[in-house]
Amino acid sequence: MDFRLTEDQRALRAGIRELLAGRFDRDRMRAALDGGGDIGRELWRELGTAGLFALRLPETAGGVGLGLPESVLAFDEIGRALLPGPLAATQLAAGVVKGAAEGEAVVALAEAGRPVGHLAQADALLVLDGDRARLLTGGVLRQVAGEARPVRSLDPGTPLWRVPDLAAYDGEPLPNGARVRREGALLTAAEQLGSAARSLESAVQHAGQREQFGTPIGAFQAVKHLCAGMLVRAETARTAVYAAAVTADPVEIAGAKLLADDAAVGNARDCLQVHGGMGFTWEADVHLHLKRAWLRAGQWLTAADAQEALAADLA
Amino acid sequence: MDLAYTDEEEEFRARLREWLTSVLPGLPEKPDPGDWPGRRAYDTGWQRLLHDAGYAGLNWPADAGGRGATPTQHLIFLEETERAGAPYVGANFVGLLHAGPTIAAEGTAAQRARWLPPVLRGDEIWCQGFSEPDAGSDLASLRTRAVRDGDDYVVSGQKIWTSHAEVADWCELLVRTDPAAPKHRGISWLAMRMDAPGVTVRPLRTLAGSTEFAEMFLDEVRVPVSHRVGAENDGWRVTMVTLSFERGTAFVGEVVACRRTLDALAAEARHNGRWDDTVLRRRLGRLNAEFRALWRLTQWNVSEAQSTGGVPGTGGSVFKLRYSHARQELYEAAAEVLGAGDALDLDREWVLDRLSSLSYTIAAGTSQIQRNIVAERILGLPKGR
């Protein structure tokens, strides 16, 4: 047993971080948000070229042949950078939807009772319905998009649409829908992790610089303890997510999603508090992480469903 | 990232399981918590069994009489013994997890030869004389004085929260040997005989009604200078060695125990109908996520320790913070499962545990102190108050 990251895994993570730092720095992130959450086709293609979407496709199918742990590390970085778009759904559809593996296609996610993100840019729609999954494309997708109505989205990085009842629309069934849901939940948990870590860094940086009463506020226990709590949340969630990636166990994934949602939402809230009035402004990035975290907490596996799965596991 | 155990590790686990299956049915009945001589006999009897089977001091270095096992093997040992319902380390706790590792790391050859074998065999029990009435979280402000007189120190003062003092043979004692030095620098680490003249032990009753620890009064107790471990006035550094062991590995078995308790809670809830309460059921589900994650965090910390030569790092503080609060939540949930009537009945399982759990966020460094450690040593925030 050696739970630590391998050299290759560290290198992969560093590579994705570098790619995102170069292609999606804060200015680009802000511009994307000001543009209404455009996913940026060019960057999407670059991610495809870097192998993000084909990461888990076997090499014989033109993929990279890596596993869930590597995907989790990549999505951790994506969450940290606040990259918009239905990345998990697109990776899960790679090999099935034409162009998804290469970053040429965008695959959006639709779940019953919830608005759909990035519908206008979607080349396919991954519909999750309990333990079943299917893909809507072509004319059917256009029909859905035509009947959809835009929502004033809470998350400025994710344009949302209310769609008609999807039960009426036929699509191509995906084998093993339960697994699709689990893996989507895990990748989303990884994004939450990156966001939680970014919020922690931002809070610590601010607490070390901002002075009140003639001293950095990070010297005060009240602030220090908020930051310590953020680290504990992030690290507990991190080990849960990493372990779930290794085991791919359904109950473990449910636990990982639950704790990662808590970490992302809780850390963003505490980060906002540490920033004081500045944290409440549009200019600070804190609210962007909080809003995205709320959005992701409602996707793939909600807290209620995760808790029921975890309860059912008890003797 | 690899959570699989090697063939060697799995063999170790299988042999251990086999041994546990053969030896556990023959154990005597567990003594009453208030019966200290009985508890001592039970705990040292278990330690002797471990010793004779080659499992004593598993994670101690071989030259200290240990087995030189890897942190992973130690993790397996703690996991399997707890899973099998084997006795807890009990009264051997301080000897095996505090004083022993400290003497192994900092003691002379003669000190190691004198003190370590009896700990491993279960022949001698140690207690911890660190805290004082005015030196708890601020441990370095301790005032118990040791004055050199020939080949002895003459020790006077008062200690508190001394676990197992009633049945201990030895005490790992922190004393002030230089009152003029800055407070962290004038401290020394002594091994004191508990039957030495001038030592008075008075049990303290906890809110759970039991006497888990005691106050200890020291009135001109003579401790040979040769019983000092480490250099004079270097006791603070020696102590930090001890505490890093405590925070790194002391709670591994308890995570497994909590998972067993959680399963038992679910079974009870299904039995008494409380399982139909959605809020309670989901609360138990959340605790499942919590203790699964704490187990993974343990494996993470052990992997880190293995890579750095066995000394547990600051990950212990992260673990301790999360674990102590989770364990309190576990027994709050237990009270919900029992329901309003049974949660007040001290004869019902978990009611005493609920009371005991209140100490977890205080003992071995309060949550507030742990947060300071995390904030200052991991996050690099400025020191302050």
Contact B21, B81 (CB under 8 A): no
Residue B36 near chain A (CB below 8 Å): no
The stretch B261-273 carries a mean pLDDT of 97
Q: Is A240 close to B304, i.e. CB distance below 8 A?
A: no
Residues of B annotated as part of the active site: 246
Is B2 part of any domain? no
End-to-end CA distance of chain A: give it in Å, rounded.
27
Is B113 part of any domain? no
Q: What's A178-314's CATH class? A: mainly alpha
The pLDDT value given to residue B280: 98
Q: Which residue of B has its CA nearest to A10?
A: B1
Q: Is the ipTM of this complex over 0.90?
A: yes
| B40 pLDDT above the threshold of 70 | yes
How many structural domains compose chain B? 3
Q: What does DSSP say about strands B152-163 and B213-224: parallel, antiparallel, or unpaired?
A: antiparallel
**Domain co-membership, B136 together with B43:** no
Is B173 part of any domain? yes
Residues from chain B that touch A3, judged by Cβ atoms under 8 A, are 1-3, 296, 299-300, 302-303
Return the minimum-mean-pLDDT range out of A37-46, A65-74, B287-296.
Answer: A37-46
| B250 pLDDT above the threshold of 80 | no
Contact A127, A134 (CB under 8 A): yes
Domain C-terminal end among B232, B260, B280: B232
* Substitution target from B292, B318, B373 for chain A, most A beta carbons within 10 A: B292
| H or E segment to which residue A107 belongs | strand A107-111
Domain range list for chain A: 7-175, 178-314
| B31 pLDDT above the threshold of 70 | yes
Is B30 part of any domain? yes
Q: Name the pLDDT band for B68 (thresholds 50, 70, 90).
A: confident
Q: Is B321 close to A228, i.e. CB distance below 8 A?
A: yes
**Domain co-membership, B143 together with B222:** yes
For A266-276, write each residue's pLDDT tens digit.
999 999 999 99
Is B136 part of any domain? yes
Q: What does DSSP say about strands A215-216 and A116-117: parallel, antiparallel, or unpaired?
A: unpaired
Which residue range is the domain that position B348 belongs to? 251-378
Q: What does DSSP say about strands A211-212 and A172-174: parallel, antiparallel, or unpaired?
A: unpaired
Q: Name the pLDDT band for B305 (thresholds 50, 70, 90).
A: confident
Is B31 part of any domain? yes
| B241 pLDDT above the threshold of 80 | no
CATH number at B141 reads 2.40.110.10
What is the rounded distance in angstroms from the CA atom of residue B16 to the CA atom of residue B79? Answer: 11
Is B117 part of any domain? no
Question: Average per-residue pLDDT in chain B?
Answer: 93
Question: For the whole model, what pTM was predicted?
Answer: 0.94
| B311 pLDDT above the threshold of 70 | no
CATH number at B307 reads 1.20.140.10
B357 residue type, one letter: S
What is the rounded distance in angstroms from the CA atom of residue B122 to the CA atom of residue B64? Answer: 15
Residues from chain A that touch B372, judged by Cβ atoms under 8 A, are 221, 224-225, 228
What is the rounded distance in angstroms from the CA atom of residue B48 to the CA atom of residue A253? Answer: 42
The pLDDT value given to residue B111: 98
For A93-110, write each residue's pLDDT tens digit.
999 999 999 999 999 999
The stretch A155-184 carries a mean pLDDT of 95
Residue B277 near chain A (CB below 8 Å): no
For A211-240, write each residue's pLDDT tens digit.
999 999 999 999 999 999 999 999 999 999
Q: What's A7-175's CATH class? A: mainly alpha
**Phi, psi angle pair for B148, to nearest 5°:** -65, 130
Residue B1 near chain A (CB below 8 Å): yes
